[in-house]
């Protein structure tokens, strides 16, 4: 029998049970609000003791025996540019928006959000070790999800992942449509030389920017336009760097694969003396709050992040295997195009 540790010992369910004169099973039942299992007077007595002793349940222990951890993961691949070794890397504000909206939804059900923003190769371990009940995967590129994930019953929602998988669930915007909306808008505005600025389009064809590009590309084909591609990492600096290429290519209408990139692109264009939208019209993608912060405010494709997060959480709770939710994108016209 261990001695009291120097830190005053944690109050456990045993302490409560003893003080209330009941068994730990009864305390447990009261705590879970199983009214049918416990008489009201007993329940009330237990509640009072819980209050008095300042008992707080150890969810870790509960998780171990109930096999539900109450932990939901956000697995975010690509938050940090793997190729950049700057000490102070840029972070797309998209991820912050995503995480806090998610936390908000989760908290309402008593679940806790754990963040993973590391390399794609290591997330599976994270998922299994921590015994997550479920997770939302953002930016996963690999064509196949490891089969281990099928054997353990983790509920997974692929978010913005165009990885097809029969067992896991998916939430996504209709990105082909989104790309097309952007291209059609520029074409309608009489832009003749269109370009698409985005990251890792050629290397990872199932990557979000690649799909957006594809959608825009098809729309261009249909009206006899060409869509040039400028590849840069999706970031402000990436967009800024892309500005030179855009000017060299003499594009007068550009679609950026993300608002953050559109912001950098506009900055780069302005620095080079080009006027936006007069010389070059720029359409962003995402409709983050950021889209309204920059000058000129971005014309952009709203991907519907709040709805998507809600949809993802719904699937996490009671989606069917393989269920897919597709959100419609919308064009939001402001001043950059």
Partner DNA sequence: CTGAAAGCGCTTACAG
Query: Under the rule (CB under 7 A), what is the footprint of DNA?
Result: 1-2, 9-10, 12-14, 21-26, 28-29, 31-32, 36-39, 41-43, 55-58, 61-62, 64-67
Query: Choosing among its own copies, DNA, none, which partner's interface includes residue 26 (Cβ < 5 to 8 Å by kind)?
Result: DNA
Strand pairing partners for 286?
Answer: 302
* Residue pointed to by tokens 């059900």: 109
- The kind and range of the H/E element at 168 are none
Strands (E), the chain: 71-76, 112-116, 134-138, 155-159, 169-173, 194-198, 227-231, 253-256, 281-286, 299-302, 324-327, 330-332
**Alpha-carbon dihedral sign for residues 39, 41, 45, 48:** positive
Q: Which stretch binds its own copies (CB under 8 A): 90-98, 215-223, 249-257, 326-334?
A: 90-98
Among 97, 120, 174, 335, binds its own copies (CB under 8 A): 97
Q: CA-to-CA distance for 321 and 165, rounded, in angstroms?
A: 10
By the rule CB under 8 A, 58 interacts with its own copies: yes
> Kindly report the CA angle at 107 between 104 and 108, in degrees rounded to 5?
95
* Contact pattern from residue 118 through residue 137 relative to its own copies, giving x for each residue in contact according to CB under 8 A and a dash for the rest: x------xx-xxxx------
Asked if 181 and 331 count as a contact pair (C-beta separation under 8 A), the reply is yes
Asked if 196 and 230 count as a contact pair (C-beta separation under 8 A), the reply is yes
By the rule CB under 8 A, 100 interacts with its own copies: yes
Query: Choosing among its own copies, DNA, none, which partner's interface includes residue 66 (Cβ < 5 to 8 Å by kind)?
Result: DNA
Q: Which stretch binds its own copies (CB under 8 A): 29-37, 87-95, 192-200, 219-227?
A: 87-95
Query: Choosing among its own copies, DNA, none, which partner's interface includes residue 24 (Cβ < 5 to 8 Å by kind)?
Result: DNA
Rule CB under 8 A: which residues touch its own copies? 7-8, 10, 54, 56-61, 63-64, 69, 71, 79-80, 87-88, 90-91, 93, 95-97, 99-100, 103-104, 107, 112-118, 125-126, 128-131, 148, 151-153, 236, 263-264, 267, 270, 289-290, 292-295, 306
């Amino acid at each position: 029998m261990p001695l009291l540790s120097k830190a005053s010992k944690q109050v456990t369910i045993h302490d409560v049970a003893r003080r209330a004169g009941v068994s730990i099973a009864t305390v447990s039942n009261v705590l879970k609000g199983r009214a049918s299992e416990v008489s009201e007077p007993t329940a009330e007595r237990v509640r009072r003791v819980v209050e008095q002793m300042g008992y707080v349940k150890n969810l870790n222990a509960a998780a171990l025996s109930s096999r539900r951890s109450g932990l939901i993961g956000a697995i975010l691949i690509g938050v940090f540019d793997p190729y950049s070794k700057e000490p102070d890397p840029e972070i797309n504000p998209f991820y912050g928006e995503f995480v806090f909206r998610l936390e908000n939804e989760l908290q309402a059900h008593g679940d806790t959000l754990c963040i993973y923003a590391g390399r794609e190769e290591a997330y599976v371990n994270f998922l299994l070790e921590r015994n997550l009940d479920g997770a939302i995967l953002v930016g996963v590129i690999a064509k196949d999800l490891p089969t281990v994930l099928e054997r353990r019953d983790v509920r997974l929602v692929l978010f913005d992942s165009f990885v097809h998988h029969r067992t896991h669930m998916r939430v996504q915007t209709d990105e082909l449509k989104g790309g097309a909306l952007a291209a059609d808008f520029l074409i309608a505005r009489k832009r003749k030389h269109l370009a698409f600025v985005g990251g890792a389009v050629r290397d990872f064809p199932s990557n979000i920017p690649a799909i957006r590009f594809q959608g825009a590309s098809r729309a261009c084909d249909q009206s006899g336009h060409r869509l040039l591609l400028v590849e840069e990492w999706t970031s402000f600096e990436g967009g800024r760097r892309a500005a030179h290429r855009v000017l060299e290519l003499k594009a007068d209408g550009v679609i950026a694969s993300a608002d953050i990139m559109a912001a950098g692109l506009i900055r780069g264009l302005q620095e080079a003396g080009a006027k936006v939208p007069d010389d070059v019209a720029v359409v962003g993608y995402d409709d983050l709050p950021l889209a309204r912060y920059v000058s000129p405010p971005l014309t952009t494709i709203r991907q519907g992040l709040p709805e998507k997060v809600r949809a993802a959480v719904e699937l996490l709770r009671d989606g069917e295997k393989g269920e897919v939710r597709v959100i419609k994108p919308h064009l939001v016209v402001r001043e950059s195009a």
